[in-house]
Copies of this chain bind each other. A is one copy, B any other.
């Protein structure tokens, strides 16, 4: 395992507006700096944690890109999310003291390790931090509800449109372009996340391209007509006209 004892100050991290430090007072930030003892590097394709692993810490993505997935007894696999810089991994592990899903790096990545017992300890001392932890967990619950909405009530085109808009919006919040991106995941991973087969993902990309809504070349995607994508997402066949 790839552990680095390099001290990283949350107080000087350029992700502090996206990550745990958001909204904390200077003295709380200082305490948080003490909490985060280690960082950990994960190579592309490497595993941050696997389902069943003992839960000890949360992880804040510092750089790179992850997917989380759950697996059934019969080998079925479902991607439950993609995580980028500033996002938190491992919340699923708290309830059973072991991870319920696996987290795999889709590109070389680095995470800040947040030992959970220490985070709880610090949360008892600082109500701002405590509330912030609650907000992070609640945010994950709300995100999951959004995915359920997507999986439960949208058709393939709508799912992919919503996915692309969500991804580019998150990238834009991190200083990247709001119209261009390079996908870190395969068509199969997108399909697993969106509840569709890879061929359907590919066909839908092609259809969007034919319609002039996006430009696709393998992993490169450029959004030419964001309004059209929005329209697809918000299109309810039941209220058609």
Contact = CB atoms under 8 A, between A and B. Distances in A.
A91 B26 CA distance: 28
Given A92-B145, A145-B80, A193-B152, A72 B234 contact: yes
Contacts of A94: 134-135, 137-138
Which of A77, A125, A144, A152 has most chain B Cβ within 10 Å? A152
A93 B193 CA distance: 25
Nearest to A147: B148
Interface string A125-153: 10100110111111111101111110111
A153 B195 contact: yes
A91 B93 CA distance: 17
A239 interface: yes
Nearest to A230: B73
Assign chain A's interface to a size class.
35 or more
Nearest to A79: B152
A152 B192 contact: yes
- Secondary structure type dominating chain A contacts: helix
B140 A141 contact: yes
Contacts of A135: 94-95
Interface in A71-117: 72-78, 80, 91-96, 100-101
A117 to B, nearest CB: 9
A169 interface: no
Closest 6 CB pairs of A and B: A94-B138, A144-B144, A152-B195, A151-B151, A95-B138, A74-B236
Given A92-B138, A120-B134, A124-B127, 13 more contacts: A74-B234, A74-B235, A76-B236, A80-B149, A91-B138, A91-B141, A92-B141, A94-B138, A140-B141, A144-B147, A148-B151, A152-B195, A153-B192
